[in-house]
Chains A and B, each alone.
Chain A
Amino acid sequence: MKQKEFIATVLPFKDKLYRLAKRILVSGDEAEDAVQEVYLKLWKGRNKISNYKNPEAFAVTMTKNYCLDRLKSKQASNLKIVHSNYKTSENIEKKIEANDGVQLVFRIMETLPEQQRIILQLRDVEQFEFSEIAKMLDSTETAVRVNLSRARKAVREELIKKHNYGIS
């Protein structure tokens, strides 16, 4: 597989990988690093990637695994995740500024368990089919639905809590 062909295959879903990485790692910089790392791995195994039916799903799985590993090693070395992206990612910051509610949703999402965060990201943000998500996460559609339902309800609960608080 030539470089051009490789880029054409994998570049279309770069932003998706980035957003997933950021959902897991929270920090934008770390997410960029993760994407870079995943692409390097994909490039090394570029001859294999053409064998996969769905390179995108494969890349998503790789990104998820890589980010979870990063998270684990970070917790092991007792480093705290830097929650700095509110300030750093300017392009989204500007849009959010007008909307405290949306920012609250992002913050609630950060508190969810990783698996729920990942599923919520893949379904509600990236709009993958359940069958695709199940394959990406090496899980079943039922399990994905259950986890997704929990994640959505958790967000709703927090949101309503804050909403009522704001009103009363």
Chain B
Amino acid sequence: MELARIEKLLDAYFEGNTSLAEEAILRNYFAQNEVAPHLAAYKPMFDGFTLAKKEVSKQDVQVTEKQFTVRRWWYGVAASVVLAIGVAGFMFSEPKLTQEEQEALVAFEKTREAMQMMSQNFNEGAEELSYISTFTKTKNKILK
């Protein structure tokens, strides 16, 4: 490769005016060991680009998103089942009272009975009191 051409290409290269093919020529020129001394400063640049391209990713790409979506779908199902059970349980268990509530209900009934009995007796007692008013009337007739 004649030196003049390389120099010309190099100038164009730094102006951003070289084609990929021309850049390949430059890379190849600098890849060899004998480079003109006044161009030696550019060698690491082109060597660097060549070397940089050899670097590879060491990690495997994981696209196991399919399993992930399936699992996510199951989450949805599981959540709605739990919710359904919860709602159903709430609705069906409402009439059934707990032990404490049943006892409270019985106690309430007893108390009401007792209250009723008391008020009945009280009313009976009040009826008996009407005799007192008769007594008052009679007394008024006499003591007028």
Contact = CB atoms under 8 A, between A and B. Distances in A.
Nearest to B50: A125
A163 B41 contact: yes
B142 interface: no
Contacts of B14: 149, 152-153, 156
Contacts of A82: none
Contacts of B40: 163
Contacts of B24: 127
Interface size class of B (residues with CB under 8 A): 20 to 34
Interface of B: 13-17, 20, 23-24, 40-45, 47-49, 51-59, 61-63, 65-66
Nearest to B24: A127
Nearest to A31: B57
B41 A160 contact: yes
Nearest to B52: A125
Contacts of B59: 32, 35-36
Nearest to A14: B57
B16 A148 contact: yes
Contacts of A7: 61, 63
Interface in A81-140: 89, 91-92, 95-96, 99, 101-102, 104-106, 109, 121, 124-127, 129
Contact of B20 (A17, A127, A148, A149): A127
Given A6-B63, A36-B59, A39-B63, 12 more contacts: A10-B61, A14-B57, A15-B57, A17-B57, A18-B55, A19-B55, A43-B63, A44-B65, A89-B55, A102-B47, A152-B16, A159-B41
B109 to A, nearest CB: 65
A101 B63 contact: no
Contacts of B51: 92, 95-96, 102
B41 A92 contact: no
Contacts of B49: 124-125
A28 to B, nearest CB: 8
A101 B43 contact: yes
B53 A14 contact: no
A22 to B, nearest CB: 7
Given A156-B42, A156-B45, A145 B16 contact: yes
B44 A99 contact: yes
A24 interface: no
Most buried by B among A101, A106, A121, A153: A101
B124 to A, nearest CB: 86
A67 interface: no
A39 B56 CA distance: 16
A15 B55 contact: yes
B72 to A, nearest CB: 12
